């Protein structure tokens, strides 16, 4: 029962907030000379055409990346994110980088990118987008099953991105359970989880469950100025387990900058503070 297709939502406000956080984490990972791994468990297509029928149908990117793109002197806090988008679009804005493309652009020759995607159409698109790149491996498995199978990676400094479509309501309770085991298996790993904020606040058990894991976790949420066409999305959130030092302050600054451009309210908090 896989009906979600990210091509309808690429470049929308949720992508912007999530990908700003991702670029901040990748900046940390690539700041040290040691190699790093990125595991993207719900990878999607890799890259998206904003001119395609799906993106045009919802027009969500108009409320997201198109607004940032139009800013003349964007704040430095959004620099890494905008550099990635600009690299893909040397002229007009017509393509949007999915998380695999963001990681691929920021990773170095000795880094590793492990991608996973279950939807047959997205998997085919992803494989085609990867082409031949020795740094990248592609899997087609259930994301939560892959989480436990793929951690810890051989190169142990790294990040796992958990960005499901939440078509399965059980994800809200199942993710913290699997995550607890993954954190146990990969103590030095950074884990970033995206979640939707809907009218019925069904993400609450997800946050409570993650807060119960005995590792620091930091949460950033952006409430949208108007519900998105994405099934009543009221806001968008990320949780980072084992965030790098200073990520909390960087995310606060970058998220506030996003809110100033897109509208809406941004706030951050520790679910569990570092000891």
Ligand X SMILES: C[S@@+](CC[C@H](N)C(=O)[O-])C[C@H]1O[C@@H](n2cnc3c(N)ncnc32)[C@H](O)[C@@H]1O
Confirm or reject binding of residue 44 to ligand X (CB under 6 A). Answer: yes
| Residue entry with tokens 């409570």 | 208
Q: Which of 40, 63, 101, 163 is catalytic?
A: 163
Q: Which two tokens stand for residue 152?
A: 């810890």
d(CA 216, CA 138): 30
Q: Which residues contact 234 (CB under 8 A, 6 or more apart)?
A: 197, 198, 199, 223, 224, 227
Confirm or reject binding of residue 267 to ligand X (CB under 6 A). Answer: no
Confirm or reject binding of residue 81 to ligand X (CB under 6 A). Answer: no
Confirm or reject binding of residue 2 to ligand X (CB under 6 A). Answer: yes
> Hey, which bits of 122-189 come out as E strands?
136-139, 158-162
Among 60, 63, 111, 163, binds ligand X (CB under 6 A): 163
Among 165, 215, 242, 268, binds ligand X (CB under 6 A): 165
Name the residue nearer to ligand X (CB basis): 143 or 255: 143
Closest CA to 113 of 96, 92, 89, 129: 129
- Phi, psi angles (nearest 5°) of residue 136: -115, 135
Name the residue nearer to ligand X (CB basis): 110 or 133: 133
Binding positions for ligand X, 116-155, rule CB under 6 A = 116-119, 122, 142-143
- Assign residue 163 a region (left: φ > 0; alpha: ψ between -120 and 50; beta: otherwise): beta
Question: 163 catalytic, yes or no?
Answer: yes
d(CA 206, CA 183): 15
Confirm or reject binding of residue 236 to ligand X (CB under 6 A). Answer: no
- Only segment of 110-118, 185-193, 210-218, 247-255 that touches ligand X (CB under 6 A): 110-118
Closest contact distance (angstroms) between CB of 138 and ligand X is 12
Confirm or reject binding of residue 6 to ligand X (CB under 6 A). Answer: yes
- Phi, psi angles (nearest 5°) of residue 55: -65, -35
Confirm or reject binding of residue 69 to ligand X (CB under 6 A). Answer: no
Name the residue nearer to ligand X (CB basis): 165 or 215: 165
Using CB under 6 A as the criterion, which residues of the chain lie in contact with ligand X when the complex forms? 2, 4, 6, 42-44, 98-99, 116-119, 122, 142-143, 163-165
Task: Please identify every residue annotated as catalytic.
Answer: 163
């Amino acid at each position: 029962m896989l009906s979600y297709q990210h091509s309808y939502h690429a470049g929308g406000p949720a992508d912007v907030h999530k990908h700003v956080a991702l670029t901040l984490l990748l900046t940390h990972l690539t700041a040290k000379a040691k190699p790093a791994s990125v595991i993207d468990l719900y990878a999607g297509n890799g890259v998206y055409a904003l001119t395609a029928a799906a993106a045009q149908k919802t027009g969500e990117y108009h409320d997201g990346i198109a607004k940032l793109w139009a800013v003349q002197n964007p704040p430095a806090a959004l620099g890494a994110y905008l550099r990635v988008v600009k690299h893909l679009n040397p002229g007009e804005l017509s393509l949007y980088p999915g998380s695999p493309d963001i990681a691929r652009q920021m990773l170095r020759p000795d880094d590793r990118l492990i991608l996973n995607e279950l939807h047959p159409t997205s998997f085919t698109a992803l494989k085609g987008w990867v082409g031949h790149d020795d740094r990248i491996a592609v899997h087609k498995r259930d994301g939560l099953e892959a989480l436990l199978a793929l951690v810890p990676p051989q190169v142990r400094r790294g990040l796992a991105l958990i960005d499901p479509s939440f078509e399965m309501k059980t994800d809200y309770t199942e993710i913290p359970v699997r995550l607890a085991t993954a954190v146990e298996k990969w103590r030095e790993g950074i884990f970033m989880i995206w979640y939707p904020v809907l009218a019925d606040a069904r993400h609450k058990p997800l946050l409570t469950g993650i807060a119960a894991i005995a590792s620091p976790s930091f949460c950033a949420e952006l409430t949208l100025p108007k519900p998105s066409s994405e099934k009543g999305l009221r806001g968008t959130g990320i949780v980072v387990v084992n965030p790098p030092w200073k990520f909390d302050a960087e995310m606060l600054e970058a998220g506030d900058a996003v809110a100033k451009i897109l509208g809406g309210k941004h706030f951050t908090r520790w679910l569990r503070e570092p000891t």
